[in-house]
Structure 1
Amino acid sequence: MTITETGPLRGSLAACVTGSGPVRAHIDAHRRELRELLTEHGAVLLRGFDSGGAEGLDGTVRSFSGSAPLTYAERSSPRSTITGQVYTSTDYPADEEIFLHNENSYQAAWPLTLYFACLAEAHTEGATPLADIREVYRSLDPALREEFERRGWRVVRNFHGDFGVPWQETFSTSDRDRVAAYCRDKGLQVHWRPDGGLRTTALRQAVHTHPVTGDRVWFNHATFFHVTSLAPEVGEGLREIFPDEDLPTNTYYGDGGVIPDSVMDELRAAYRAASTRFDWRLGDVLVVDNMRAAHGREPFTGPRRIAVAMAEPSDAR
C-alpha cells in the first residue's frame, strides 16, 4: 500500500492510503498498520480500492474494527437505513452546512470509530471536513476550558409532536416506559409534556481523555447543539416559534447557566482553525477516530451520497 501525508488530507489528520483491489482484502492484510495510522493521525482515507458500496461497508467495519457496526441509537438527526447498520449521512438540505461535531458525544456512550463511504460525488463542495479536537482543546483560553471542566455542559432536547425528529424515532419505540428506563440508564432526566411531547436533559463532561493516546480532547456537543450555531435565519426563526427552554436542542453550562455568545464564537472559531478538508471521490472510504477528530459537512450541489457506519462503543472519561 502507498501512504501519503501530502495528499487530500493535510495537517495532523493526514494519512491517505492508496491502492487497488477489494478494500476489505487490503484491510485484512494490513490491519495492524492501518490501526497504527488511525491512532497516529486520527483519520485514514482509503482511496482507489473497490469498496463494495454501501453493502461493502459492513464488511469494512468488521475487518477494521473486528466487530459488527453499531445501531444508531438516541438519534439527534434524520438518517435513513441503507442496509443493516449502514445509514445515510445526515439527511439535511444540501444548501446547509452541518457544523463540526463528534458523533454521539452528547450520550453516555459513543462509537470510538466512524466509517464513511462515498457512493456518489458532489458537483461542488460537499466535503466532510475534519477537525483535530486535541488542537481545539489546546487553542482555547485556559479560563474557558476550566469553566467547562468545572461546570460541565448540559443539553436540553425538546421533542415536539409536529416538529423535528419525534421521540419515537429517536428512541426507536413508542412505549413511554421503555423510554423512561433507557433514560434512567443513560443519565437523562425525562419530562413528559402535556401535549404528548418529551423533554430530556443530560449533564455531560466537556473534556475527556483519549482512551488510547491519553490526550486531553474537547469532546462534546456543546457547540453543535447551541442555537447560535445554526444558520442565523434558522436560529432566529426557531426563536420566533419557541422560547429558549422549548427549543428542539440547546446547550448550557452544566448548572443551567447561559453560555455567553462570545464563548460560542470562540469555540466555533477554534473548530474551524483546527479543520482540514478533501474532495470526495467515488469509492473512497474514510475511517475516523471519533475521539480525535470532529467531522461536519459542507453545503453541496449534485448527487452527493455518503454511507456511514459506527463501531467500537466507548464511554472513556
Structure 2
Amino acid sequence: MTVTEFTGPPGTPIHAYLTENRDKLRTVLAEQGAILLRGFEVGGVDGFDRVVRVLSGSAPLTYAERSSPRSTIKGQVYTSTDYPQGEEIFLHNENSYQAVWPRTLYFLCIEPAHTLGATPLADIRDVYRHIDPGVREEFERRGWRVVRNFHAEFGVQWQEAFGTDDRDAVEEYCRGKGIEPHWRPDGGLRTTAVRRAVHTHPETGSRVWFNHATFFHVSSLAQEVQEGLREIFAEEDLPTNTYYGDGGRIPDEVMDHLRAAYRAASTRFDWQRDDVLVVDNMLAAHGREPFTGPRKIAVAMAEPWDG
C-alpha cells in the first residue's frame, strides 16, 4: 500500500495546516488508507489530542474491552501496546473483534527506536485479494469466533478489560455487544463472540478482510510463547484463540496462508520524532516490528463504527 506523506517546513504548526487542508487529507486517507504528517510542530500529547479533534471532528475514544496492555499517557491518549521490545506484533485492525470499533487511528512518534520499530501497514483490500477465494468463502459462510480467557493473576484481567469490577455490569455490557460471558471457577472470565470476517468499507464500497482471526490465533505467536502457553493451559483455556464461527478448528495451513496474505500486502517506513500517522482502520491493518532503544509511540482512536 502507499502511505502518502505530507511535509511541512520545520516548525509549521500542524493544527493550522490540518484546518486548512482537512478535506484534501480526508480524501487521500479514504483512498490510500494512511497518511503521514512529517516535519510539523505538534505540541506534544496535548497537541496530538487536538490533531484528533481537528481531523476527526470529535474527541478521542476511550480504549474499551481491552485485549493488550497499554498505559494512559493523558486523557484518551495511550501508549502503543506494551509488549516486550524483542517481539513482533502481527498485523491487525484495531478492535475488529468488537461490535463497535474506531474508524480512524492516530499515532504520534514521541521517541523513535534505535533500530527497526516500524509500524508496518497492510492494505486489507489487498489482503482480501491475496486470500484464496475458497478460504474467503468459508470464513464468509461460517464467520469467525474469538474465545478469550481472563485468568486470575495472568495477563490482562477482566476488571481492566471491561473497566469495572462489577460482574453484573460486565454481563450487561456483553449482552449489548454480542458476547457470551462465562465465569470461571478460579474467579476469571471466559468470553465468546462470533463476528464477520469480511466487511464492506462504508465510503469506498470495497470488500475488506477486517477481523482478528489471524492475530488472536495461538499459532500467530512466537514459537516459544506458543509452547509456554500450551504447557500452562489446555486449548480451551488459552488467553486468546480463534475458530470458525461454528466452533470448528481452523487448519494450520489456512492460518499459514492468512499470515502470508498479510505479509504480501505490507509496507513499512522508519519513524521520525513528531511524525503523526493517520490510519483508516477499515482500510489498513497495522503491526509493530521488534526494536532496540527507547521507542515511544502515542496512540489515539476516533470515530466509532458498527457496520
TM-score bin (small chain): over 0.9
Which residue is 1:196 aligned to? 187
Q: Which of the numbers 207, 212, 222 marks the counterpart of 2:203? A: 212
User: Which residue number corresponds to residue 31 of structure 2?
Assistant: 40
Alignment of 1:71-110 (within 5 A): 71-110=62-101
Q: In structure 2, what is the Cα distance between the partners aligned to 1:292 and 1:13?
A: 12
Matched to 1:274, the amino acid is A
> 1:234-257 CA deviation, whole Å, 9 max, x = no partner?
011100100110000000000000
For 1:19, what is the secondary structure of its paired residue?
Answer: strand
Q: Tell me the equivalent position of 2:4.
A: 15
Once the two structures are superposed, the pairs formed by residues 120-269 of structure 1 within 5 Å of their partners are 120-269=111-260
- Give the equivalent residue in structure 2 for 1:7: none
- Tell whether 2:285 aligns with 1:297: no
2 CA distance for matches of 1:24 and 1:173? Answer: 36
How well do the aligned residues superpose, as a CA RMSD in angstroms?
0.6
What displacement does 1:22 show?
1.2
SS at match of 2:298: strand
Name 2:278's counterpart in structure 1.
287
AA matched with 1:219 = F
Cα distance in 2, alignment partners of residues 52 and 79 from structure 1: 22
Aligned length: 305
2:40 match: secondary structure: coil
Q: CA deviation at 1:19?
A: 0.5
Give the % identical residues: 74
C-alpha separation in 2, matches of 1:308 and 1:54: 10
Partner of 1:256, secondary structure, is coil
Distance in 2, Cα, partners of 1:244 & 1:209: 32
How far did residue 142 of structure 1 move? 0.5
Any idea what SS the aligned residue of 2:41 has?
A: coil
Shift of 1:13: 2.4
What's the secondary structure of 1:48's corresponding residue? strand
| AA matched with 2:271 | W
Q: Which amino acid aligns with 1:306?
A: I
How far did 1:40 drift?
1.2
Taking the aligned partners of 2:45 and 2:229, their CA distance within structure 1 comes to 35
Aligned match of 1:62: 53
| Structure 1: unaligned runs, 5 residues or longer | 1-11
* Whole-Å separation in 2 of the counterparts to 1:247 and 1:161: 13
- Separation in 2 of the partners of 1:179 and 1:150? 30
How far residue 14 of structure 1 moved from its aligned partner, in angstroms, is: 2.6
Unaligned ranges ≥5, structure 2? none
Q: Does 1:113 align with 2:101?
A: no
Q: How many Å apart are 1:57 and its aligned residue?
A: 1.1
In the TM superposition, what whole-angstrom CA distance separates every residue of 1:38-59 from its partner, at most 9, and x where no partner exists? 0111000000001112221110
| Counterpart residue type for residue 182 of structure 2 | H
- Structure 1 runs (4+) greater than 3 angstroms displaced: none
